[in-house]
Structure 1
């Protein structure tokens, strides 16, 4: 009798343990509601979403090993996973991102990327997920605005909404994301100005805001972001002058400002900085190319084409340690092209459509 009792007790304890080691029913229900709002017709990635325990072998779902709460959703439409290799295609999914996702209150990362057909807004309740570190929804057809309260996500390190149809303005609260390291808003229809307090994002290393409808000046405060290495503001409608302080940033290596309405002169600080990719083309920049080249000048790319630059190509350019690609075409430059490096490996297309440049590699002699 005692043996039977102990056997039943052990089975009961085992059952309770297995239940406690599974995801909560409420989180399983939230995931199924999330799934119900999506349609994925080709790969069958949701076929594994069955059974009572969403922490066990549900494709793209990871749980905290101690709490058994859903921690990560990682669904990418472009992947090297065997599902994609077997289908010989990238993913395609329609539908929307259900607000039910916000019931996963321990969620740390949410990646729903490159599905091409997912539409609808980013649910405002996303801002209520206190542990969220990664929000990556690149490559869909999402519409609406970035949630106004996005700045509440104090742990957020990655915000990637690139290649969607996002509208509205950059929320002012975004500057409260003190842990943000990677910001990608490229290829949307975001309008308005870059917030003046953008420089509060002190941990930011990449800020990619190209191909939007941003207007107004480049905030001086950007130069306060001492970790920033990659700044891309190209193909917007930004105006005003380039802050000279950008050239004094400690680790800025890439500065793309091409395709805007920027005017004024080129700050000499950009020429003597540690920037290696500098693209200022297709603006309304005027004045002279600064005679500020020196040993610290190491440019993989320097594109100054399609502006209103005048005067000569400065002789100090020969003092640069390296210039891989230089383009000063479509300006109003005049005088002889300096001989020697870096000009001995450049083509004529780098110098055409100026007022009176002469010398090699152009056919016009001085």
Structure 2
């Protein structure tokens, strides 16, 4: 009887063995898969090493934000570091020393950091955002290898003490949309290669010691909407290529050494709404197109050598938050059409050679004498009666 059943027992035993092997195999596969996932789901050692070298070159004494930069996985809970959730490569470094950061908001303090930006940062070859801003005393130069970071879209190093020149081949950063190096002590000229940054939308180089002229083909930056270049030592005139910048809304060249006259076609630029040329060495007449442009909201041409009369071209759609023409050599009368302007927030025509009666009307009844002082022979409200 037992012999008759033996094949089924053997079959049962084989099946049991097979099931056991299958479950063991399944367990091993799961284990292997788990190991692979665990390995993938932490930043690669090369990224971690680059971050630690970057950290080693900086000192942040007040808040200990770099204390979070410990452990093997730089993608988890390292302050200011973000990774791609699929590849687990480091993509963003966002370290701001200003009060916008929650760490500083809770303590009502701003950050302070010394040291320099290590070239090791360039080993993070998938980096798309590098923000190391408003730490006041980070010094040294911008590592020239930064232009090898082909994925970089945002470079913001504002508010430090970074010196040296802008890397000559900055134009290699083909994906960059925002370049902010303001409030540092950068010298040298604007590198010619900058015009290759075809996707650049926001450029801020203000408050540095940058000299030389604007590149003549600056207008190649067709997507640029803000060009903030004030408080430098720029010379030369406004290049004509600027007139091709169809998206330019904000051009600030104030407090430089810019010469020449204002290109008349600048007033015909469709989206230009803020133009600051104050504190330069510019001459010539003020183009009527500039004052006629109904999209122009802030126009500051003060402290130059502009001459001739103020064009009488204002209308019911003129809307100026700021119109400052003070400290020039303007002559003639204040245009009567100014009184038909829809809005005139701040008007300053002081320190010129204007003469005649101040027009009456809505923009003029809220202006004080300072708006008209130090001219040759202006009279009428708010100055002495004619």
Residue 206 of structure 1 corresponds to 226
Which residue of structure 2 aligns with residue 222 of structure 1? 242
Report the 3-state secondary structure (helix = DSSP H, G, I; strand = E; otherwise coil) of the residue aligned with 2:140.
Answer: strand
Cα offset for 1:81? Answer: 3.9
- In the TM superposition, residue 80 of structure 1 has moved relative to its aligned partner by 4.1
Cα distance in 1 between the residues matched to 2:345 and 2:26 = 79
Q: Tell me the CA shift for residue 5 of structure 1.
A: 6.3
2:166 matches 1:153: no
The alignment partner of 2:241 has SS state of helix
Kindly indicate which of the two structures has a greater share of residues assigned to strand. Answer: 1
The structure number with the bigger radius of gyration is 2
State the Cα distance separating 1:222 from its structure 2 match.
Answer: 1.1
Name the counterpart of 1:354: 375
Aligned to 1:341: 362
TM-score by length of 1: 0.97
When structure 1 is superposed on structure 2, of 93-102 and 76-85 the one drifting more is 76-85
* Equivalences for residues 21-36 of structure 1 within 5 A: 21-36=41-56
- Which stretch shifts more, 299-308 or 218-227? 218-227
Pairing partner for 2:288 from 268, 276, 279 = 268
How is 1:305-344 mapped onto 2 (pairs within 5 angstroms)?
Answer: 305-344=326-365
Deviations 1:76-107 (A, max 9, x none): 00144443244431110000000001011111
Give every structure 1 segment of 4 or more consecutive aligned residues whose post-TM-superposition deviation is greater than 6 Å: none
**Pair 115,195 (structure 1): closer, same or farther in 2 beyond 3 Å:** same
Q: Which structure 2 residues correspond to residues 44-123 of structure 1 after superposition, within 5 A?
A: 44-123=64-143
Cα-to-partner distance string for 1:154-178 (whole Å, 9 max, x where unaligned) = 1100000000000000011101111
Cα distance in 2 for partners of 1:67, 1:79 equals 32
Give 1:118-129 correspondences, 5 Å limit.
118-129=138-149
Q: How far 1:17 moved relative to its partner?
A: 1.6
Find 1:13's aligned residue among 27, 30, 33: 33
Does residue 306 of structure 2 align to residue 280 of structure 1? no
| Cα distance, 1:340 vs structure 2 | 1.7
For residues 11-45 of structure 1, give each alpha carbon's deviation from its aligned partner in whole angstroms, at most 9, with x where no partner exists.
34322220112111111111111110000111111
Residues 137-152 of structure 1: pairs in structure 2 closer than 5 A:
137-152=157-172
Give the match's secondary structure for 1:186. Answer: coil
Answer with 186-195 or 86-95: which moved more.
86-95
CA distance in 1, matches of 2:214, 2:206: 14
Partner of 2:4: none
Residue in structure 1 matched with residue 274 of structure 2 by the alignment: 254
Which residue matches 2:189?
A: 169
Distance 2:102 2:177 in 1: 29
> How far, CA to CA, are the matches of 1:237 and 1:280 in structure 2?
13
Query: How far off is 1:10 after superposition?
Result: 3.4
Unaligned runs of 5+ in 2: 1-19
Q: Render the CA deviation track for 1:180-233: whole Å, top value 9, x for unaligned.
A: 000000100000001111111110111100000001101121121111111110
SS in 2 for 1:218: coil
- Normalising by structure 2, we get a TM-score of 0.92
Residue matched to 2:210: 190
> Greater share of helix residues, 1 or 2?
2
Q: Indicate the SS of the match to 2:125.
A: coil
Aligned residue in 1 for 2:13: none
Could you give the per-residue CA deviations for residues 264-292 of structure 1, whole angstroms, max 9, x where no partner exists? 00000011012111000001100100111
Structure 1, unmatched stretches of 5+, are none
